[in-house]
Amino acid sequence: MLVLASASPRRRTLLQQLGVDFLCSPADIDETPGANEQAGDYVLRMARQKAAVAARNYRAPQYTVLAADTTVVSDREIMGKPRNRQD
């Protein structure tokens, strides 16, 4: 069984459109970028942390964890997740 370590509605929709059976297990982690952290390093760190949390919660061999992260960058600054529709 696939475990999606994400709260992203788009990732859930993509898996549903592909006909994949999965469990959704979003991780409660601190998503604050590190000082001077590059965007690529940041999203990799976030995906790894999300995967680690899900892997701890779903240890049985029948589970496979899928984790990913996306960010928006402007002028080399990580913008973070939008807080509302206007963001």
Q: Which CATH code fits 2-78?
A: 3.90.950.10
pLDDT at position 87: 66
Cα–Cα distance for residue pair 41/73, rounded to 1 Å: 13
pLDDT higher at 79 or 84: 79
In the predicted model, what is the mean pLDDT of residues 57-74? 91
Based on the number of CB atoms within 10 Å of its own CB, is 5 exposed (0-12), middle (13-18) or buried (19 or more)?
buried
pLDDT at position 29: 94
The closest of 69, 70, 55, 71 to 23, measured between CA atoms, is: 55
pLDDT at position 40: 93
In the predicted model, what is the mean pLDDT of residues 49-68? 94
pLDDT > 90 fraction of the chain, expressed in percent and rounded = 69
pLDDT higher at 70 or 82: 70
In the chain, where the domains are located: 2-78
Active-site residue, selected from the candidate residues 28, 30, 69, 87: 69
Cα–Cα distance for residue pair 44/77, rounded to 1 Å: 16
Instruction: Verify whether residue 69 is a known catalytic residue.
Output: yes
